[in-house]
Structure 1
C-alpha cells in the first residue's frame, strides 16, 4: 500500500510526525506538500492529494490542516474522493468499514500527535465491509455523477 500525505502550514508539523510513523512501519508514502510552516492555502494541497488518489499514484491519502475541516472540504470537491474528518479511532474505523473513505483528514491544531498516530493506524488497518454499505457508497457516487 502506498499512502499520499499532504497538508497546509497548520498541519505541517503533524504531517512530518506521521511520515516518521509511516517510515517506521515500512509504509511507502508520497509527500504532496507543503514543505514548511509558512502560510499556504489548504485547497491547493487537498486538491493535489486528491488528484493523486484518483489517478492511482497512491492508494489512499492523509490530509491535514489546522482543524482538518477546510482540507476535507477541498478534498471532497474532487470527484471520487470520500474524505472523512476524524478525531477519534472509532470514526476512523467506521469511515472505512461503512463509507470506504479513501482519504482521512486530521486537524493538526486539534488533536495530539499520539492520538493522530492511533487514528491513522486504525484507519490503515480497517477494511470496507461492502454489502449494504456498498449500496450506500454507490448512491454517493450517483449524486456526484448527476451534478
Structure 2
C-alpha cells in the first residue's frame, strides 16, 4: 500500500506498518496479528474486554489516560464480521493519539488490527484501508 513501510519487530508474530507519507499521516502506525478461527466472541464480550484493556494500558504508563470514544460491530456470529473500538490516549505530556482497535473474523481465521494516528479521522481511515485486505486474507465465505 502506498505510503506504508513494513517494519519487523524483534521476533514478534505481528505484521507492522509505519506511514511516511502525507496520504496516511506521517508517524501513523497499523499492525495486525493473525489467529485461528474464532466465531464465538460477541460484541458484548468485545466491549467488556476493551474496558479491561484500557485499564491495563493506563497502568503501564503512569499519568496516561485512555478513553473509549465508541464501540461498534456486527451482531451475531457469522463471518465475515468486524468489531471496533475507537480510543483516545493522552500521554502524561499531553500528546494525543487516536486508536482504532478491532477484531476481524473470517472463514480461515481471525485477526486483531490496530491503527494509531494523531487524528481520529486518520486512525479510522487507516484502519479501514487495512481491514479489507486482512479480511480477504482471513477468507471470505463462498457466495451463495
TM-score class normalised by the smaller sequence: under 0.3
Q: Which has the higher helix share?
A: 1
TM-score (normalizing by structure 2): 0.27
Larger Rg: 2
> Which has more strand, going by share of residues?
2
